[in-house]
Amino acid sequence: MDLKPQFRVTRRQFVTASAAAMAAGGVTASFAPIAEAVRAPEGLSGEPGDRGPFRVIIDTDPGVDDALALLLAMRSPELKIEGITPVAGNVPLELGLPNALRMVEIAGRTDIPVAPGAKAPLLRRLVTARYVHGENGLGGAVFPEPKTLPVDEPAAEFIRRVVRKYPGEVTLIPIGPLTNIATALKLDPELAGMVRGIVLMGGSLSGGNITPAAEFNIYVDPEAARIVFQSGVPITMVGLDATRKTSLIEEHVRTLEAAQNSVSQAAAKIGRNAINRNREQGFLVGPNMHDSLAVAAFLDPSILTFKEYYVDVEIYGELTAGETLGYSPSAGDLRRKPEMEKQATMNMSIRGSAPTLASTKTSPVLRDRWLPNAKVAVDVDSAKFFNLLIGRLSASA
């Protein structure tokens, strides 16, 4: 099976062009025209079942929590899943792609096309998380080899084609590194204006999980993440600030095991292996259902509490690459009297680092005024979330 994506531009060409843009003025400067046109995030889907189905593409790096997120999505009638686009992340693509195909078969949804994506980040060597997800990406849970084949179209082209076919209708739900999404946006500069929204699992405003600063999905490909956050597409960021409160426990697994359907049995098998793996490694809690929460955020936004931020991604820091930074004129030391907040919003500038002694430049102003580009999940009703997740996975088809 040939997993190499055939983009309109080769990865070498993309790397060369991107590196040149960064050298000339940084990623921020390269995408300033799009970033300045950023739109305020739109509302999500509303209460479950009240509207829809909604067209979505799920971009994923399966992955224990990705696998359960995929099963949740395929068990949700609110979603019209136009495709699944695996990407290298938790595991290499040669493992993640078959895992996605396995989930499609387990859910009885082989009608959903699976398009192989990027095998490596835009500019960096791939870092995986096999130490969390096991050698096969599913916590050691073993399933038969998939019989379903992926489509021939590479993920970035697939995303581009589907969004253009349904302009303004398709929401992207990336729950892995953002390489595929960034590549699609770079290939087609008009695409950002056609995407309904992006609901992503990634980032954190309260510290990372692979470094003290960075969450894993953003860390793996920070350049791609910066492209996405600066694209102007309305973004909902479901990061560690909320997902750290979604630990899978024995009671959840027992409920899944008691249900007699293929989806619940597969989810239980993956979940039990993941819990056992966490125990063996000495963790007191977990595993957390990071990616399932992002899917749930689209299905029922009332599960989460959101706050608007301007979010950007650090790409240069030796110790902080992949850190997501949230700017708000009503947070921390920046808080003002309510009657002054509007004025503060207009006047708040987003600054880059102070110049070195060897430079004659002044501190760059990356944005001359504050404008939110993301709704960030800052809290979660864990009980309500697990009622949705376990309820749908254990229900009869």
Q: List beta partners, residue 170.
A: 55
Q: List beta partners, residue 56.
A: 81, 171
Token pair 């136009």: residue? 82
> Do the Cβ atoms of 176 and 224 come closer than 8 Å?
no
CA atoms lying within 13 Å on the CB side of residue 363: 9
Q: How far apart are CA 78 and CA 297, in angstroms?
A: 12
SS3 percent helix, strand, coil of the chain, rounded to 5, is 40, 15, 45
> Do the Cβ atoms of 377 and 297 come closer than 8 Å?
yes
User: What is the H or E stretch that residue 237 is in?
Assistant: strand 235-238
Among residues 290, 367, 375, 392, the one annotated as catalytic is 290
Q: How far apart are CA 76 and CA 186, in angstroms?
A: 31
What is the DSSP secondary structure assignment for residue 192, as one 8-state letter?
A: G
Please indicate whether residue 133 is annotated as part of the active site: no
Which one, of 223, 231, 193, 202, lies nearest residue 290 by Cα? 202
Report angle CA 223, 203, 219 to the nearest 5 degrees.
Answer: 45
Q: How far apart are CA 28 and CA 60, in angstroms?
A: 26
Torsion of CA 20, 160, 237, 89, to 10 degrees: -70
Q: List beta partners, residue 325.
A: 312
- Residues marked active site are found at 290
